[in-house]
A and B are shown apart, each in its own frame.
Chain A
Amino acid sequence: MNTFLNLPLAGAVYEDIPLGHFLTLSLAMFALGSIGVLIRKNPVIVFMCIELMLNAVNLSFLAFAAYPNSHVQANNAFESAMAGQAMVIVVMAIAAAEVAVGLGIIMAIFRYRNNVDVDDMNTMRG
């Protein structure tokens, strides 16, 4: 199996940058996304923050997949990297479906109530 597009930057990142730095970037994005979900009132921006959190998770999946792991046998390393890739593609597809349905719900609420403030949507309050 040959690589296509052998970028000079793509060589042996795992020796130059610790895995923890990728995970720290992912953690920062996830935390910012969760703050945004909690503090914003505009439902479209709340959705964007959810996308941010999903992408943070994708980044950590790919970082774990790209680093050699002492718990994985050497002949299984390729398969374990492919598991991370497959998971990321599943997350991407779910995010796309979620955005389509979620924005459809926001539009339906807007047509029904002429108002999309998340603080006013309390009809289903228990």
Chain B
Amino acid sequence: MSSTLLNQVAFYLLSAIAILGALGVVFLKSPVRAALALVANFFTLGLIYFMLGNQMIGISQIMVYAGAIMVLFLFVIMILKDQTPEEDKSLFQDRRFIFGLLSAIVICGLIWALVINPTMQSFGGEMDRSYGSPQAIGRSFFTTYVWPFEIISILLLVGIVGSIMLAKRKF
């Protein structure tokens, strides 16, 4: 099997799984099932990042999103188990579904016409394939992007302190 066909088969298979996962998040009634569909989506996205040559980001995607963040979601779902609101029986006939669909179609049409349509043909050229490696990312974060790196650390610290404050407050 040629490399081109292999690439295409892998990409369209992974995209199909990712889209199914996203559909599951939006339309499954049970929050636990929605969370598991989201895990499937994040995992396939990590594999798509590998296809694009981003090894470091792909691994962080699987560890941070499919691991840590989804565990947090599942904990909250478990704590709130019986208190979550019931979805309406007819999610599709709800007024808000129609408006949601309309707004999504408008946004999709605009982005398609203005951004995606000009990029639909594949183009050749040479790329340095080492941009996704941990070495490249580490060097970049300690030279060019050292300020964003420090700002991320402060943001995460503030997030930790804020969530502890929220959790410990007495009502």
Chain A positions within 8 Å of B, measured between CB atoms, are 1-5, 7-25, 27-36, 38-42, 44-45, 47-49, 51-52, 55, 58-59, 62-63, 65-68, 70, 74, 77-79, 81-82, 85-86, 88-90, 92-101, 103-108, 110-112, 114-119
Per-residue interface assignment for chain B, residues 38 to 77, with 1 indicating a CB less than 8 Å from any chain A CB and 0 otherwise:
1001100100111111111100110011001100110011
CA–CA, A7 and B116, complex, Å: 28
17 contacts between A and B (CB under 8 A): A2-B133, A4-B55, A4-B135, A13-B51, A19-B120, A20-B119, A27-B108, A31-B104, A45-B34, A49-B26, A63-B52, A66-B53, A70-B123, A94-B155, A95-B65, A97-B158, A116-B85
From A9, A41, A111, give the contact of B50 (CB < 8 A).
A9
Closest chain B CB from A12 CB (angstroms): 8
A4 touches B11 (CB 8 A): no
- A-contacting residues, B96-133, CB 8 Å: 96-97, 99-101, 103-104, 107-108, 111-112, 115-117, 119-133
